Amino acid sequence: MLETAEQYEYTRTYIMNYIIELINKKGIRRKDDLRVIYDDLTTVGYVKDTYKLQMLLRFVNQDFNHKGTQCAVFLKDMRRWKLEHSISNTLDNFCI
């Protein structure tokens, strides 16, 4: 589970670099979907679409470099962490 901003940023950066590696490989299909996932991580901070998250998890789970890691847990937890720690811009925040 992600607990600190450093863990979140490390996981986000790691996954973004992994997606770039997948996009640059020759035999990988669905590169457009991977680019959308990369854009989601860049703009929103997590994968918005459940289908695309499952697709990315298939890549991670099949990659022997990620055997025994909890990459899938961190990927799923990114949304929770980002939503809990996002700053809401309300009028009350400006008046304090």
CA 94, CA 26: separation in Å to the nearest integer? 50
Q: Is the pLDDT of residue 88 over 60?
A: no
Is residue 47 pLDDT above 80, yes or no?
yes
- Mind listing the pLDDT tens digit for each residue in 48-85? 888 999 999 888 888 888 777 788 888 888 988 888 88
Q: Which residues contact 43 (CB under 8 A, 6 or more apart)?
A: none
d(CA 18, CA 59): 10
CA terminus-to-terminus distance, the chain: 32
Greater model confidence, 90 or 77: 77
Query: Distances from the Cα of 23 to the Cαs of 1, 18, 39, 68, 88, in angstroms?
Result: 27, 9, 13, 24, 34
Round to whole Å and give the CA distance between 48 and 18.
18
pLDDT of residue 2: 84
